[in-house]
Amino acid sequence: MIQLLTFDLDNTLWETEPVVAAAEQTLLEWLDVHAPQFSRQLDRDARRALRQEVLAAQPELRHRVTALRIAVLELGLRKAGYAPDDARELALAGFEVFLEARHALTFFPHCEPLLEQLARHYQLATISNGNADVRRLGLEKYFKVIVSADEVGLSKPDPAPFLAALERAGVEPQHALHVGDHPVDDIAGARAVGLHTLWFNRLGVEWTGTERAHGEVCCLSEIPGWLENYKG
């Protein structure tokens, strides 16, 4: 019997790419005002190269999207000629601008009514590799447990974030089901820890992963009915 539902966030409860692209644009516009040397000194290619340079020096940041974004920005600001203290301060302020804009998102249809309904019957948790925070979105009332790769230090499909959610909820993996859009990060990752899995296949694409999920839905509204019929 399923007691705990763990949810991926990005591209499961909302579409991520447009909002991240818009947030990056908002940040660039903020930098043009507050750190004009950044765009003047670094063209698009130079800005793109920053991420690889940071990851080469600090590969562990691959799992920490927030620290990685701040480090990339800080390195860029230093390269643009800002003194280390100023670069740090501007990077932290700029990241806040990005993060605020990153939360200006639109939930997929049925998202909030679904969570409200499910929270009456199950414990709910989030397990996200990204830096969207349900607390900033007014969804925290539905989730007993909130796990992010940022905070655990390892991202899905590593077992660590799944295990953290199970431990905090006090639920064994055979009584938990993970819902997510990504065949590897969500489905293979959760399966490896022994959770049941539900693939959120919003666009109706072909399965590309290894072992299939226990179920598949293309709309959030299908989840309660699927759960009722699931005999796993």
C-alpha Rg value of the chain to the nearest Å: 19
Taking residues 102 to 131 in sequence order and writing x for each that binds Mg ion by CB under 5 A, - otherwise, the string is: ------------------------------
Burial of 27 (0-12, 13-18, 19+ CB in 10 A): buried
CA 52 to chain centre: 20
Candidates 6, 11, 123, 197; binder of Mg ion (CB under 5 A) is: 11
Nearer to Mg ion, 95 or 199 (CB): 199
Applying CB under 5 A, the span of 8-16, 63-71, 81-89, 138-146 interacting with Mg ion comes to 8-16
Candidates 6, 8, 143, 200; binder of Mg ion (CB under 5 A) is: 8
Does 10 engage in binding with Mg ion (CB under 5 A)?
Answer: yes
For residue 176, the 8-state DSSP code is: E
| Least gap, CB of 181 to Mg ion (angstroms) | 4
Which regions of the chain does DSSP assign to beta strands (E)?
4-7, 123-128, 145-148, 176-180, 196-200, 215-217
Looking at the chain, how many residues does it have? 232
| Least gap, CB of 198 to Mg ion (angstroms) | 13
Applying CB under 5 A, the span of 12-20, 22-30, 112-120, 204-212 interacting with Mg ion comes to 12-20
Applying CB under 5 A, the span of 5-13, 56-64, 115-123, 146-154 interacting with Mg ion comes to 5-13
Applying CB under 5 A, the span of 44-52, 152-160, 173-181, 209-217 interacting with Mg ion comes to 173-181
Question: Measured between alpha carbons, how far is 107 from 130 in angstroms, rounded to an integer?
Answer: 16
Strands 145-148 and 123-128: parallel
Taking residues 180 to 199 in sequence order and writing x for each that binds Mg ion by CB under 5 A, - otherwise, the string is: -xx-----------------
| Least gap, CB of 130 to Mg ion (angstroms) | 8
Nearer to Mg ion, 10 or 158 (CB): 10
Q: Whose structure tokens read 């601008």?
A: 97
* Listed residue (201, 26, 178) closest to 102, CA to CA: 26
Concatenating the DSSP letter of every residue in 19-69 gives: HHHHHHHHHHHHHHHH-THHHHH--HHHHHHHHHHHHHH-GGGGG-HHHHH
| Least gap, CB of 99 to Mg ion (angstroms) | 18
Question: Measured between alpha carbons, how far is 200 from 8 in angstroms, rounded to an integer?
Answer: 10
Applying CB under 5 A, the span of 11-19, 58-66, 145-153, 191-199 interacting with Mg ion comes to 11-19
Contacts with Mg ion, residue ranges (CB under 5 A): 8, 10-12, 181-182
